[in-house]
């Protein structure tokens, strides 16, 4: 595989076989983020669970202490007072059936998160086949099907992330931007790791945290020492 000059230089700047303490690992991830844009720092955690088993799923939401650095566009599908509350809370788009029609007819997806009230799930269900594959389908577990739309919108805007296991038993999640600097990213890292440890399924056996890796958008992975799970 051919890699870019900057990537190749980054790989040579540290020992990729070694696992580093969190602060040093973050510093290395930041130093290898050499793109001209503000790269995202991502956390990848491989867990000792079987994602095929319903009782070994790991999923949750968390408002990162320092946010993600990305302003997410929020669509709220609601009516009446709840629609008014969503607008007041800072939602980018608010509506009901007309929003569902717009998505169906115009293939419109200029948003990152969909929030709805329980009474509107029947309407939202009509577009489940297009929202689901994009990871946009509202879900009570992620706090996006709720009567408290004000709280839901404000949490997303404040930097709420959803972490969930993929088919290979790995959680991938953004924890900030290069411009955050070391301290803020370490704080976000610790908060997310603590949440993942607390979410350990009772059915999980053996070592839970198998490996932890930090990467920047364009940079190589840096292994992290983590012995709390």
pLDDT digits (tens, 9 = 90+) for 34-68: 889 999 999 999 999 999 999 999 999 999 999 99
From the CB of residue 39, how many other CB atoms can be counted at a distance below 10 Å?
Answer: 20
Angle at 14 between CA 9 and CA 18, to 5 degrees: 140
Kindly report, residue by residue over 215-225, the tens digit of the pLDDT: 999 988 999 99
Q: How far apart are CA 17 and CA 28, in angstroms?
A: 14
pTM: 0.82
Q: How far apart are CA 16 and CA 64, in angstroms?
A: 27
SS3 at position 127: helix
Query: What pLDDT band is residue 6 in, cutting at 50, 70 and 90?
Result: low
Q: Is the pLDDT of residue 144 over 60?
A: yes
Angle, nearest 10°, between helix axes 22-31 and 182-198? 130
pLDDT of residue 207: 93
């Amino acid at each position: 595989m051919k890699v870019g000059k900057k990537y190749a230089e980054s790989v040579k700047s540290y020992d990729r076989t070694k696992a580093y303490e969190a602060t040093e690992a973050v510093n290395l991830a930041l130093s290898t983020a050499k793109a001209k844009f503000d790269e995202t720092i991502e956390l990848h955690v491989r867990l000792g669970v079987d994602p095929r088993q319903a009782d070994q799923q790991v999923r949750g939401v968390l408002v990162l202490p320092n946010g993600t650095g990305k302003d997410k566009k929020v669509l709220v599908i609601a009516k009446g007072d709840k629609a008014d509350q969503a607008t007041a809370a800072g939602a980018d788009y608010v509506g009901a059936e007309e929003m569902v029609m717009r998505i169906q007819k115009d293939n419109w997806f200029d948003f990152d998160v969909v929030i709805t009230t329980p009474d509107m799930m029947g309407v939202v269900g009509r577009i489940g086949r297009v929202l689901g594959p994009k990871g946009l389908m509202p879900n009570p577990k992620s706090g996006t099907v709720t009567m408290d739309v004000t709280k839901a919108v404000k949490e997303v805007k404040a930097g709420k992330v959803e972490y969930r296991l993929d088919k290979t038993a790995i959680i991938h999640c953004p924890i900030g931007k290069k411009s955050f600097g070391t301290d803020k990213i370490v704080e976000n890292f610790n908060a997310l790791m603590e949440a993942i440890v607390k979410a350990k399924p009772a059915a999980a056996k053996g070592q839970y945290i198998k490996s932890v890796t930090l990467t920047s958008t364009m940079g190589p992975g840096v292994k992290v020492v983590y012995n709390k799970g």
